[in-house]
Amino acid sequence: MMPFIEVTLTEGRTPEQIRTLISALTKAASESVDAPLASVRIVVREVPETHWAAGDVTIAERKQREGTP
């Protein structure tokens, strides 16, 4: 068994935050499906806020409209 987990996030997390996420996901997958830690694969993709949209509005546009950084 080789669990493969893909995560897509908007850019902006620190390397430490990404590392913590990888560790937590690896542990959760290993414990949940009784897979050896070494068999768990994690891919984290970071996407610019201008390349992620819902309802034809990007996250960057939504934040700009809401006045959030």
CATH number attached to the domain at 4-66: 3.30.429.10
Quote the pTM value: 0.86
Q: Measuring CA to CA, which residue among 43, 40, 18 is closest to residue 29?
A: 40
Q: In whole angstroms, what is the distance from residue 1 CA to residue 67 CA?
A: 46
What is the pLDDT at residue 69? 76
What is the pLDDT at residue 20? 98
The full set of domain ranges for the chain reads 4-66
Q: In whole angstroms, what is the distance from residue 21 CA to residue 23 CA?
A: 5
pLDDT digits (tens, 9 = 90+) for 41-66: 999 999 999 999 999 999 999 999 99
Residues labelled catalytic: 3
Three-state secondary-structure class, residue 23:
helix
